[in-house]
């Protein structure tokens, strides 16, 4: 039991850390490699998009390839990406390293979670779920300040190199963890649909990023191509024998509503999270360490407010709980926009607390959606919810980055730092609007089965995939 718990703890921490550690080091990467804002966004997006695109089929491939082979290959690929990123001297090599790490993480996550099912009893799985969630929270809190410390004192390459001790430890521990072999009866993955969907996601994200460059023709062309691939995906799914998304899930209003609302939450929060250290360095004049430190407040607020969720849901229903959380996030973003002209950190802290506390209240988005799906679709539903979270993060960085870039360019006459602050304020207002739309949709779409108390047999989802 102990080797399995240690393995999943290390894996949960390092795959989540790579989502957040880049934020504080991104300004240093931009300065050293001479990156403009649109290119810098791909350092983050490059990890999130392959993570999101591969997750829907990764679980099936784990069954077909076996836990041992998938775990070994995933760790080696993740480590290779870290090594390449640490020594990279060009933007596209850094982005390629991030893509490799994101693809590897898409296989590592379902492999590690499957170890909980195969290696532990019911009590052990409960402990494992707690360990997994705790490691996610710790990585969320430590990522920005750790990225700042490494960038300031050792160089931004160590943002990548810091992954290698975790990979080495997991490779060594792998021999002590029992793993299941290949399952010849595992269903074939819908690889074709996955490829079409991922291509569409990349093209649409690229279109949003290119909007920030002031070009018109390229975003229109990329957007049209992305839309064409998205339409192809829909038609392919209708005719496919093995669907990427089972029709039973697409017909479930609460589940599709949860996916949509979660997308809106990620679109608003993730982009702001990525660009905050940049603002703190360029506008507030902070170093990499102090620039990332205020984001710890968000993580602490998430952890502190999470115990309210099991108290609130039975009393107010998941629809009101989630809607209140999104409204609270919007209030925090608007409050931050109101003080953004002040070049100090302290006035921003209450706003960051609101954003973190509100995000904690969105947890039922995942847990409630998993409770109402059939047991045979619980793994697929978990993968889709996790994938939508990663996709919304990638699109959020692209969208908020575009808003920031457009407004900053229009206000460059005021000076570089004030122009960046003006763009960040516009990004905050955009994010707040998205959160408010999400709050309205959550109240309406999650209301269908509100008040129902699921029986133990209904709780078929994966509890370790229920954090926002």
Whether 293 and 387 map to the same domain: the answer is: yes
In the block, tokens 């969320």 appear at 140
285-294 pLDDT per residue, tens: 888 888 888 8
Q: b/e per residue, 269-278, with b = 16+ CB within 10 A?
A: bbbbbbbbbb
Whether 381 and 405 map to the same domain: the answer is: yes
pLDDT for the residue 39:
85
* Segment 417-428 mean pLDDT: 93
Tokens of residue 374, six digits = 């059939």
Residue-by-residue DSSP string for 384-411: HHHHHHHHHHHHHHHHHHHHHHHHHHHT
Whether 250 and 210 map to the same domain: the answer is: no
* Segment 184-191 mean pLDDT: 64
Q: Please report which confidence band the pLDDT of residue 236 belongs to, taking 50, 70 and 90 as the band edges.
A: confident
Pick from 81-85, 123-127, 211-215, 406-410 the range whose average pLDDT is largest: 81-85
Dihedral of alpha carbons 153, 154, 155, 159, sign: negative
Provide CB contacts within 8 A for 318, sequence distance 6+.
Answer: 364, 365, 368, 446, 450
Does 306 score more than 90 pLDDT? no
Contact 439, 327 (CB under 8 A): yes
CATH number at 272 reads 1.20.1250.20
DSSP-H helix ranges across 212-252: 217-239, 247-250
Lowest mean pLDDT among 165-169, 297-301, 420-424, 459-463: 459-463
pLDDT for the residue 76:
95
Whether 21 and 71 map to the same domain: the answer is: yes
Question: Taking the mean position of all CA atoms in its chain, how far away is CA 435?
Answer: 16
Mean pLDDT of all residues belonging to the chain: 83
Percent of the chain with pLDDT over 70: 88
Whether 50 and 169 map to the same domain: the answer is: yes
Tokens of residue 453, six digits = 């108390």
pLDDT for the residue 457:
38
Tokens of residue 340, six digits = 């953004």
* Segment 28-33 mean pLDDT: 88
Q: Please report which confidence band the pLDDT of residue 465 belongs to, taking 50, 70 and 90 as the band edges.
A: very low
Q: Please report which confidence band the pLDDT of residue 104 belongs to, taking 50, 70 and 90 as the band edges.
A: very high
441-454 pLDDT per residue, tens: 999 887 754 444 44
Q: Please report which confidence band the pLDDT of residue 187 belongs to, taking 50, 70 and 90 as the band edges.
A: low
Whether 287 and 429 map to the same domain: the answer is: yes
Helix (H) or strand (E) holding 332, with range, is helix 308-339
Lowest mean pLDDT among 1-5, 9-13, 408-412: 1-5
Query: Last residue of some domain: 210, 241, 272?
Result: 241
- How far is Cα 267 from Cα 389, in angstroms, rounded to an integer? 9
What number of other Cβ atoms are within 10 A of residue 165's Cβ?
A: 11
Domain range for 229: 191-241
Whether 196 and 319 map to the same domain: the answer is: no
Whether 331 and 251 map to the same domain: the answer is: yes
Query: Last residue of some domain: 156, 188, 220?
Result: 188
Contact 365, 265 (CB under 8 A): yes
* Segment 125-137 mean pLDDT: 72
The residue among 346 and 38 whose pLDDT is bigger is 346
Q: Please report which confidence band the pLDDT of residue 124 belongs to, taking 50, 70 and 90 as the band edges.
A: confident
Does 169 score more than 90 pLDDT? yes
pLDDT for the residue 224:
93
pLDDT for the residue 326:
94
- How far is Cα 41 from Cα 52, in angstroms, rounded to an integer? 16
- How far is Cα 365 from Cα 147, in angstroms, rounded to an integer? 29
pTM of the model: 0.80
Whether 211 and 142 map to the same domain: the answer is: no
Contact 357, 331 (CB under 8 A): no
341-370 pLDDT per residue, tens: 998 999 999 999 999 899 888 878 776 776
The total number of structural domains in the chain stands at 3
pLDDT for the residue 450:
40
* Segment 158-185 mean pLDDT: 82
Q: Please report which confidence band the pLDDT of residue 160 belongs to, taking 50, 70 and 90 as the band edges.
A: very high
Whether 347 and 229 map to the same domain: the answer is: no
The residue among 212 and 12 whose pLDDT is bigger is 12
Contact 66, 180 (CB under 8 A): yes
Whether 228 and 268 map to the same domain: the answer is: no
Closest listed residue to residue 343, CA positions, set 247, 421, 409: 421
Q: How large is the angle between the packed helices 122-153 and 91-119, nearest 10 degrees? A: 160
* Segment 401-412 mean pLDDT: 90
pLDDT for the residue 77:
95
Closest listed residue to residue 392, CA positions, set 244, 260, 210, 290: 260
Whether 136 and 176 map to the same domain: the answer is: yes
Contact 403, 430 (CB under 8 A): yes
Instruction: Determine whether 135 is exposed, middle or buried from the number of CB atoms within 10 Å of its CB (0-12, 13-18, 19+).
Output: buried
* Segment 14-21 mean pLDDT: 85
Query: Last residue of some domain: 188, 213, 232?
Result: 188
Closest listed residue to residue 392, CA positions, set 101, 23, 45, 104: 45
The residue among 326 and 216 whose pLDDT is bigger is 326
- How far is Cα 398 from Cα 369, in angstroms, rounded to an integer? 27
Closest listed residue to residue 115, CA positions, set 166, 168, 67: 67
Q: Which long-range contacts (CB under 8 A, 24 or more apart) does 150-155 make?
A: 150/21, 150/25, 151/24, 151/25, 151/28, 151/288, 152/28, 152/287, 152/288, 152/289, 155/28
Lowest mean pLDDT among 15-29, 63-77, 250-264, 442-456: 442-456
Pick from 92-96, 116-120, 456-460 the range whose average pLDDT is largest: 92-96
């Amino acid at each position: 039991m102990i080797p399995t718990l240690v393995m999943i703890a290390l894996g949960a921490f390092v795959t989540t850390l790579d989502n957040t550690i880049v934020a504080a080091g991104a300004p240093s990467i931009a300065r050293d490699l001479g990156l403009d804002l649109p290119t810098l966004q791909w350092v983050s997006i490059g990890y999130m998009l392959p993570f999101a695109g591969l997750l829907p089929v990764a679980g099936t491939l784990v069954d077909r390839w076996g836990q041992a082979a998938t775990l070994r290959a995933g760790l080696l690929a993740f480590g290779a990406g870290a090594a390449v990123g640490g020594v990279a001297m060009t933007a596209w090599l850094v982005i390629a390293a991030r893509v490799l790490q994101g693809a590897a993480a898409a296989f590592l996550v379902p492999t590690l979670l499957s170890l909980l099912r195969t290696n532990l009893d019911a009590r052990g799985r409960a402990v494992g779920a707690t360990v997994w969630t705790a490691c996610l929270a710790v990585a969320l809190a430590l990522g920005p300040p750790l990225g700042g410390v490494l960038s300031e004192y050792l160089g931004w390459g160590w943002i990548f190199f810091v992954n290698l001790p975790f990979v080495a430890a997991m490779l060594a521990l792998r021999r002590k963890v029992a793993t299941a072999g290949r399952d010849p009866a595992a269903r074939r993955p819908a690889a074709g649909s996955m490829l079409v969907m991922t291509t569409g996601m990349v093209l649409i994200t690229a279109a949003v990023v290119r909007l920030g460059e002031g070009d018109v023709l390229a975003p229109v062309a990329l957007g049209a191509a992305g839309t064409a691939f998205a339409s192809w995906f829909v038609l392919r799914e209708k005719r496919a024998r093995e669907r990427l998304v089972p029709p039973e899930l697409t017909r479930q209003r609460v589940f599709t509503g949860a996916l949509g609302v979660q997308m809106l939450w990620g679109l608003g929060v993730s982009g702001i999270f990525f660009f905050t250290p940049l603002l703190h360095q360029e506008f507030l004049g902070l170093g990499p360490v102090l620039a990332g430190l205020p984001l710890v407040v968000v993580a602490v607020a998430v952890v502190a407010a999470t115990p309210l969720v099991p108290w609130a849901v039975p009393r107010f229903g998941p629809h009101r709980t989630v809607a209140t959380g999104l409204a609270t996030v919007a209030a925090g973003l608007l409050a931050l926009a109101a003080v953004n002209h002040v070049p100090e950190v302290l006035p921003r802290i209450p706003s960051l607390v609101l954003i973190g506390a509100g995000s904690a209240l969105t947890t039922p988005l995942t847990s409630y959606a998993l409770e109402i799906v059939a047991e045979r679709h619980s793994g697929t539903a978990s993968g889709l919810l996790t994938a939508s979270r990663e996709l919304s993060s990638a699109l959020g960085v692209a969208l908020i980055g575009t808003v920031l870039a457009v407004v900053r360019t229009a206000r460059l006459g005021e000076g570089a730092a004030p122009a960046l602050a003006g763009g960040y304020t516009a990004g905050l207002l955009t994010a707040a609007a998205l959160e408010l739309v999400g709050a309205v949709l959550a109240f309406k779409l999650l209301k269908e089965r509100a008040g129902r108390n699921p029986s133990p047999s209904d709780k078929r989802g994966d509890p370790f995939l229920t954090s926002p």
